[in-house]
Amino acid sequence: MVTNAGPQRHLVLIGMMGAGKSTIGQLAANNLGMDFNDIDDMIVRRERQSIPDIIGERGEQSFRMLERDMVALVTDREPSVISCGGGTPMDPVSRHLLRTNGVVVWLDVSLDQLVARVGDGANRPLLQSGAPIAETLDGLLTKRRPMYGAAAHHRIASPDGSIAHMLADVLQAYRLGPTPPTSASPPA
């Protein structure tokens, strides 16, 4: 149950790997008195396999179907804070479920911050292409940015990557509730 004023909807965090979705999500859930659901963690628990193993053995498409199933499951529950995998909004069904049942907040951090946060990319299968991590992240971000913009009700950009500032902005966005989709191009 939401203890602070705000919509009776899920708070959904989207963005690239390393954007801070899990960290900020847990803090937001504690602040709002809501359950925290990390889609990736839910898949790992249900499948009893790591995400790299799931993708390695079954392929990314199979993983995306598991992700869609988890989104459907969690959005049908009482309002909670949901941390999505970086690719979750790429699926139109997942994107629709998240927008319909939640206040979707895009954590948009700089490429430099993402590179610093993911380190060597261990346990992040999409970074194991052999290309430099910054190049791979930049390509993923370019591909995903339009879908993040289409999915999000709010976009939180953090020039300094401060978790405290981003958390405050996320909580404010949640209290504002859903709005029309954000532009894929960030405002100046």
pLDDT digits (tens, 9 = 90+) for 28-65: 999 999 999 999 999 999 999 998 899 889 998 999 99
* CATH superfamily to which 10-176 belongs: P-loop containing nucleotide triphosphate hydrolases (3.40.50.300)
Judge residue 26's burial from the number of C-beta atoms within 10 Å of its C-beta, 0-12 exposed, 13-18 middle, 19 or more buried: middle
Can you give the pLDDT at residue 184?
45
User: What are the residues whose beta carbons fall under 8 Å from the beta carbon of 17, sequence distance 6 or more?
Assistant: 85, 86, 114, 118, 124, 126, 127, 137
Can you give the pLDDT at residue 3?
41
pLDDT digits (tens, 9 = 90+) for 134-165: 787 888 889 999 999 999 999 998 767 688 89
Greater pLDDT, 159 or 82: 82
How much is the pTM?
0.86
pLDDT digits (tens, 9 = 90+) for 94-145: 999 999 999 999 999 888 888 777 766 556 655 566 667 778 788 888 999 9
118-123 contacts, C-beta under 8 A, 24 or more apart = 118/17, 118/18, 123/50, 123/51, 123/52
Can you give the pLDDT at residue 131?
65
Greater pLDDT, 113 or 186: 113
